[in-house]
Amino acid sequence: MRELFYKPYSPEYKSPVGAVTVNENFIIKIRITERDDIESVYFVLKKENEAKMYYRMYTENDCYCVDMPITSVGLYFYHFEVRQYGGGYFNIFASPDLTPVYHYGEDWLMLARERVYEPSDTLKGGLIYQIMVDRFCAVEPKRTRNDVEYRDDWYGVPHYKPDKKGIVRNNDFFGGNLSGIISKLDYLKSLGVTCIYLNPIFKANSNHKYDTGDYSTVDPDFGTEEDLKNLIKKAKGRGMKIMLDGVFSHTGDDSLYFNKYGSYPTLGAYQSKDSPYYKWYTFKKHPSDYECWWGINILPNVVETEESYNDYINGENGIIAKYTKMGIGGWRLDVADELPDVFLQNLTKRVKTVNPKAIVLGEVWEDAVTKVAYSVRRKYFWGRELDSVTNYPFKADILGFIQSGDAQRLNRTVITLVDHYPKEYTASLMNMVGTHDTVRALTSLSTDKVPSSRDERAEKKITDRDQAVKKLKLAAVLQYTLPGVPLIFYGDEAGLEGYEDPFNRRCYPWGKEDKDLIGFFRTLGKVRQDNISILADGIYEPLLAENGLYIYERKTENGTLQVIANAQKTEYVLDKTVHDEITNSNVNTLSPYSAIIIKY
């Protein structure tokens, strides 16, 4: 079997990348030893849904090379065809970890994108802290409504039982507000936070605010527009930016626009076909039969391509411009899969027109380059839409590695996304291990059996907490050192537990924090601050991924961080083979569920 060396790279980054820019040359090199019988090697390139193209590779320093541009955006697939003297040939494909294999395998993938906007610096090299406003901190909370329950038990369990109509209303409020966040900015600064991501803050009925009632108004329970401006200003003074959550695929039924219950003075789409908002929605039979988000009738879907809706959100004086002009660092877009390409392009154009450095980040749960939604190949990273995405693939495989020791799967996921994504998009990936949509990280890392009933899950505390905390620390090390930007879901750093929504949305445990865990997160925050250039721009190089051991490096010309992670139940003794892979290290053993970061 021939020994094979393969490396695709761009002249700009001098490191392996799978994404290229149209009309800019990229270089692919492949070295094959024992090549006496090789007559020629061809780079076989195929644009999605088009015919294959064959490019004869030239030789240089014992390598076969191709140096060329791609002239149109889109997804491309490629492999190598080796032609032998005498008429024989064989192909070289990609293995699951993207290393070359002979004869059988898959094509490599290459994204060719436009470089329309300059990369955003909102997240790069930093640390994100996610806050559900009602549950973080309350300072003189305002109680403005009669149709909700205001809670006086800050540590209580959020309501989870349905009412007589079988609906969980999410209408219990604990009092968290924007003033509360301002009061804790120094605490967030101590963690190393550089961006505060707020779940929706616009006026809405629910405590989570994903049922927008009025995009133009900050919810009175959270504060005022002046409070938001004050938060932006005071956060900026501490080196932090604010990211808002944009929910533009649907509104609430109790909204300025739909107005199902007559709560607003406007003529809503539900009330009349003469409403200026009628075309925003799709009615099968007006007024009661309409399309709604995932069948939830309090969340009527909007038609994002409707001109008046697009102008309301993305126009020169629209919602995006209004809040971006306030000085926020960017937007996280809810359910980006359900936002049409043209809407995303208009939104991003408006953001970049107001602030070229602001970020547009989409909620995407899979590989953003290969993503197909509703039978359409998405164009998130083709150059005119998103700057980056939520990195749920990392979340799943980081937790999977810790729970099962499957380092190979995690490594393959990292390699794949690094290979598929443009480098600057990878640098802004939102790396989480828990969010408002998922079980708390600490709970998910417990070995306890999940209670079968919601009543039991509401009160359940994990029994193996000490071990789960060790696992959470290990997860955080990976989260903080793999490509992308780590996200702390408020309270994870303080030891909050909780199963699915709403149990994962308990209030921050002020006065009952796990101080040791917070100290650990502060240490990791300092590691990021002290190694910004390496963690923002360093290439990812795996050294070992097997048997519950995961070793990798983040490297630049100016330094290297090496991470050694042990996800086994027992102490791991590093054998000679591993030592050969680890340079400048005197480490001989790793305790269970632990990691070491070495700088050299």
Res 14: pLDDT: 40
Q: Is the pLDDT of residue 34 over 90?
A: no
Q: Which of 427-431, 509-513, 547-551, 556-560 has the lowest mean pLDDT?
A: 556-560
Calculate the CA dihedral of residues 545, 549, 554, 557 and round it to 10 degrees. -90
Residue 14 located in a structural domain: yes
What digits encode the pLDDT tens for the residues 295-351? 999 999 999 999 999 999 999 999 999 999 999 999 999 999 999 999 999 999 999
Rounded mean pLDDT of 276-286? 98
**71: CATH:** 2.60.40.10
**C-alpha to C-alpha distance for 480 and 595, rounded to whole angstroms:** 12
Q: Is the pLDDT of residue 577 over 90?
A: no
Number of domains in the chain: 3
Mean pLDDT: which of 13-27, 466-480, 563-577 is highest?
A: 466-480
Residue 49 located in a structural domain: yes
What is the identity of the amino acid at 480? Y
Residue 290 located in a structural domain: yes
Residue 279 located in a structural domain: yes
Res 62: pLDDT: 79
Quote the distance between the C-alpha of residue 172 and its chain's center.
Answer: 29
**C-alpha to C-alpha distance for 473 and 184, rounded to whole angstroms:** 23
Res 575: pLDDT: 65
Give the HSE-up count for residue 98: Cα atoms under 13 Å, Cβ half-sphere.
Answer: 22
Mean pLDDT estimate for the chain: 93
Res 103: pLDDT: 83
Rounded mean pLDDT of 37-50? 95
> Given 45, 79, 113, which residue is the final one in a domain?
113
Res 7: pLDDT: 52
Nearest Cα neighbor of 251 from 286, 206, 220, 287 is 206
Q: Is the pLDDT of residue 204 over 60?
A: yes
Give the residue numbers spanning the domain of 257: 250-303
> Given 303, 322, 337, which residue is the final one in a domain?
303
Q: Is the pLDDT of residue 47 over 90?
A: yes
Residue 409 phi/psi, 5-degree rounding, is -65, -45
Give percent of the chain above pLDDT 70: 94
Res 116: pLDDT: 97
pTM to 2 decimal places = 0.95
For 59, other C-beta atoms within 10 Å of its C-beta total 13
Q: Is the pLDDT of residue 28 over 90?
A: no
Q: How confident is the model at residue 585 (pLDDT cuts 50, 70, 90)?
A: low
Element (H, E) at 521: helix 515-530
**580: CATH:** 2.60.40.1180
Residue 586 located in a structural domain: yes
**C-alpha to C-alpha distance for 131 and 187, rounded to whole angstroms:** 13
Q: How confident is the model at residue 15 (pLDDT cuts 50, 70, 90)?
A: very low
**C-alpha to C-alpha distance for 422 and 440, rounded to whole angstroms:** 30
Nearest Cα neighbor of 231 from 169, 184, 165, 174 is 184
Res 600: pLDDT: 86
Residue 80 located in a structural domain: yes
Better-predicted residue by pLDDT, 349 or 61: 349
Q: Is the pLDDT of residue 581 over 90?
A: no
Q: How confident is the model at residue 13 (pLDDT cuts 50, 70, 90)?
A: very low
Res 558: pLDDT: 84
Q: Is the pLDDT of residue 574 over 70?
A: yes
Res 26: pLDDT: 86
Strand partners, 585: none
Res 3: pLDDT: 38
Res 325: pLDDT: 98
Residue 264 located in a structural domain: yes
Q: Which of 91-100, 150-159, 335-344, 542-551 has the lowest mean pLDDT?
A: 91-100
Res 16: pLDDT: 44
Rounded mean pLDDT of 579-600? 77
What is the identity of the amino acid at 438? T
**C-alpha to C-alpha distance for 535 and 556, rounded to whole angstroms:** 9
> Given 113, 141, 170, which residue is the final one in a domain?
113
Res 2: pLDDT: 31
For 65, other C-beta atoms within 10 Å of its C-beta total 17
Residue 399 located in a structural domain: no
